[in-house]
Amino acid sequence: MNTPYQEAQYVGQAAVRTTILDHAIDLLATEGLAALTMRRIAAEIGASTKVLYTMLGGKEGLADALYREGFARLRRAQQQVAGSEDPLAHLNDLGAAYRAHALAEPAYYRVMFEQAIPGYRPGIEALKAAETAFDASVAAVQACIDSRVFRPGDAHEISKLFWAAAHGAVSLELAGHFPPESAARRFDTLMTAVGQAFLVEQGQGLT
């Protein structure tokens, strides 16, 4: 039987990288930071530590790769949200996708936002890469402005406020402060309230 590393090799280097990161994030989530070593990851996938060091450059490189991968997956989740003729509905759908992705990938979410790997701080290039995860949200806000649903404003800054609201609600949910029976309702209520602050016609809410 082939090892995960051997299976990934048949597909290509991108698959090898994904295999390494998937096993690394699983170890972090299930066994904690102490298990996140190059030797342990190599053993899990059936590869040599040399492969990991060559691809990632050590533990700092692994942390950076996990951070970037988390945002890359978030970006793909946002890009997969279907378009809509209603720009406000589309913006709301992006918010729902953000929450769904965070709940589906909580370990990556914690690496991205909660310093799950102590000592790691993303550099300028990593932060720039992370920022692109929200391009779809900025475009959706701009569409709301262009269609005169929202008042004129800076789409990037408005998108940041939507992100702040979504992140706060999701973080509370992941921490167990928002139980499942009320989390979705609270998230929707909060996003509606943020949207109402920018409406041309007050009283019109997100649907």
pLDDT number for residue 202? 57
Average pLDDT over residues 111-120: 90
DSSP 8-state code for residue 83: P
The whole model's pTM is what? Answer: 0.88
Nearest Cα neighbor of 149 from 206, 81, 82 is 206
- Check whether 207 has a pLDDT greater than 80: no
SS3 state at 150: strand
Interatomic CA distance for residues 153 and 145, integer angstroms: 7
Query: 73: pLDDT confidence band, cut at 50, 70 and 90?
Result: very high
